[in-house]
């Protein structure tokens, strides 16, 4: 009898993903003392490991343990580095077991950490010339790809999240994450051990956390990246899992916009209209809310339901646009608070918007939101809202300390 031992090599895959920019900051760190092959070790979740700098661990840790409450997400960071190209790095995870009890393998998720270009914060945000600020690559993005190739003389962190079920039993759970790779045509397989001690404490669901998290959303950028029509079914299908992750982080507020891009193109993608304005041939107005309604409804279904912050009656360039039936064209105007033009366009809208919000039962949680506008503009706009829409809340991101004049503001973010 002849017994043939077969290696546990993985099926060949093409690990396609986007290409990162070259690092403009060369550290000159030598890779000469790095052992050949794929090196790996658990590191710290508090460290951003540089792409071009070989880590210098006292010892390479192949074992990780953590402590968690029931219902909590905990994280670890595995660091990979090599002097030669490594192909098809991928992972398999096992369930974490404590006797007959277990945390399903679906609760353990590895994510490749990607590097993005950034510059120094220096004096703060705002208009800046790129040549005046030092740029570098920074570990930032968690990429949801199944496998990845590593460049020679480079580092690749892997962020591992463990979502502990809320109904799991107390105990010490053990399992493993298996690393697969191909180097010079040879297959590599390594087991890394994981241990989680689950305490007899339960974390409340994110929707019940009192911490007020408001990360502004930008749905139009998702449509551009995936090349699908904005507000299409395909677009919302792509948005849902991203916004679910945001809800799971404790997000409380929905970001919406009332007219054209509130930030005048500050972002790479301009904000797409959620509400479409039409000036009819007889001079009256109509407003189409289907995209706004679909967006808000989806976010609320995910548990983001404490506020709807609507930007902005005072966009950074004070421009609005609408479809003019008489001209059969889109018209763009400047509407500065305190002027007749401002009142002529915003009075009919705000009246119609209030009625629409009442019909949807959203009026009590909706705020007219403004971002870093000067005190004079704020005063005129708040005066307008107090006169024509006192039912609506007001949200404000403030860099002028104007908030001190308005104790009735419902939601403020203050430059500190």
* CATH code of the domain containing 115: 2.60.40.10
Q: Is the peptide bond before 73 cis (omega within 30 degrees of 0)?
A: no
User: Are 384 and 237 contained in the same domain?
Assistant: yes
CA angle 359–365–367, rounded 5-degree value: 105
Max Cα distance, the chain (Å): 96
User: Are 239 and 265 contained in the same domain?
Assistant: yes
User: Are 186 and 213 contained in the same domain?
Assistant: no
Q: Residue 109's domain spans which residues? A: 38-121+129-200
Q: At what angle do helices 290-301 and 233-248 cross, to 10 degrees?
A: 40
Give, as one character, the DSSP assignment of residue 204: P
**Residues in a beta bridge with 377:** none
- Going by C-alpha positions, the residue among 8, 82, 95, 74 that lies closest to residue 41 is 82
Residue 1 lies in a domain: no
**How many alpha carbons fall within 13 Å on the CB side of residue 230?**
16
Query: What pLDDT, on a 0 to 100 scale, did the predictor assign at position 26?
Result: 66
pLDDT < 70: residue spans in the chain: 1-9, 26-29
Spatial strand order in the sheet of 276-279: 285-288, 276-279, 319-324, 329-334
Residue 225 lies in a domain: yes
Residue 33 lies in a domain: no
Q: Which two tokens stand for residue 173?
A: 């759970």
Spatial neighbors of 408 by CB under 8 A, at least 6 apart, are 394
Q: Do the Cβ atoms of 103 and 96 come closer than 8 Å?
A: yes
User: Are 174 and 252 contained in the same domain?
Assistant: no
Q: Which two tokens stand for residue 162?
A: 């463990």
Q: Rounded distance, CA 393 to CA 410, Å? A: 6
Give, as one character, the DSSP assignment of residue 374: -
Q: Which two tokens stand for residue 361?
A: 């039962």
Spatial neighbors of 91 by CB under 8 A, at least 6 apart, are 110, 158, 177, 178, 179, 180
Q: Rounded distance, CA 275 to CA 293, Å? A: 9
User: Are 265 and 193 contained in the same domain?
Assistant: no
User: Are 266 and 147 contained in the same domain?
Assistant: no
User: Are 142 and 248 contained in the same domain?
Assistant: no
User: Are 187 and 214 contained in the same domain?
Assistant: no
Query: What pLDDT, on a 0 to 100 scale, did the predictor assign at position 230?
Result: 97
**Rg from Cα positions in the chain:** 26
Residue 11 lies in a domain: no
Phi, psi dihedral angles at 112 (to 5 degrees) = -70, 130
Q: Do the Cβ atoms of 310 and 366 come closer than 8 Å?
A: yes
User: Are 262 and 379 contained in the same domain?
Assistant: yes
User: Are 272 and 404 contained in the same domain?
Assistant: yes
Report CA-CA distances (Å) from 398 to 114, 201, 375, 403: 32, 39, 10, 7
Q: What sections of 227-339 are H helices per DSSP?
A: 233-248, 290-301
Residue 234 lies in a domain: yes
Q: Of 165, 200, 235, at which residue does a domain stop?
A: 200
User: Are 140 and 224 contained in the same domain?
Assistant: no
Q: Do the Cβ atoms of 70 and 114 come closer than 8 Å?
A: no
User: Are 196 and 339 contained in the same domain?
Assistant: no
- Going by C-alpha positions, the residue among 181, 171, 286, 304 that lies closest to residue 244 is 304
- Going by C-alpha positions, the residue among 298, 282, 183, 281 that lies closest to residue 240 is 298
Q: Do the Cβ atoms of 175 and 96 come closer than 8 Å?
A: yes
Give, as one character, the DSSP assignment of residue 405: G
pTM strictly above 0.75: yes
Number of domains in the chain: 2
């Amino acid at each position: 009898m002849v017994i043939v031992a077969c290696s546990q090599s993985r099926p060949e895959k093409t690990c396609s993903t986007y290409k990162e920019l070259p690092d403009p900051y060369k550290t000159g760190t030598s890779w000469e003392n790095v052992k050949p092959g794929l090196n790996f070790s658990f590191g710290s979740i508090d460290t951003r490991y540089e792409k071009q700098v070989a880590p210098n661990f006292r010892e390479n840790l192949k074992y990780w343990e953590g402590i968690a409450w029931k219902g909590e997400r905990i994280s670890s960071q595995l660091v990979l580095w090599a002097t030669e190209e490594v192909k098809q790095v991928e992972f398999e995870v096992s369930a974490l077991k404590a006797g007959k009890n277990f945390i399903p393998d679906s609760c353990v998720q590895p994510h490749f950490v990607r590097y993005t270009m950034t510059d120094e914060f220096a004096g703060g945000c705002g208009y800046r010339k790129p040549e005046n600020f030092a740029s570098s690559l920074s570990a930032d993005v968690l990429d949801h790809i199944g496998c990845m190739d590593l460049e020679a003389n480079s580092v690749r962190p892997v962020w591992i999240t463990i979502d502990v079920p809320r109904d799991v039993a107390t105990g010490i759970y053990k399992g493993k994450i298996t690393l697969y790779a191909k180097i010079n045509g040879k297959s590599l397989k390594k087991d890394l051990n994981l241990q989680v001690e689950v305490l007899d404490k339960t974390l409340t669901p994110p929707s019940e956390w009192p911490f007020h998290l408001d990360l502004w959303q930008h749905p139009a950028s998702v449509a551009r990246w995936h090349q699908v029509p904005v507000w299409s079914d395909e677009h919302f299908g792509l948005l849902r899992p991203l916004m679910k992750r945001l809800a799971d982080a404790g997000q409380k507020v929905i970001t919406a916009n009332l007219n054209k891009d509130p930030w005048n193109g500050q972002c790479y993608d301009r904000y797409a209209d959620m509400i479409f304005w039409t000036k009819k041939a007889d001079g009256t107005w109509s407003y189409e809310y289907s995209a706004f309604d679909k967006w808000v409804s989806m976010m609320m279904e995910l548990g983001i339901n404490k506020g709807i912050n609507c930007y902005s009656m005072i966009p950074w360039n004070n421009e609005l646009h609408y479809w003019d039936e008489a001209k059969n064209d889109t018209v763009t105007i400047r509407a500065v608070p305190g002027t007749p033009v401002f009142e002529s366009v915003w009075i009919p809208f705000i009246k119609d918007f209030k009625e629409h919000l009442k019909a949807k039962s959203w009026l009590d949680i909706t705020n007219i939101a403004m971002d870093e506008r000067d005190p004079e503009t704020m005063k005129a706009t708040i005066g307008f809202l107090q006169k024509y829409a006192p039912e609506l809340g007001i949200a404000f991101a403030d860099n002028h300390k104007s908030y001190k004049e308005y104790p009735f503001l419902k939601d403020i973010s203050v430059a500190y």
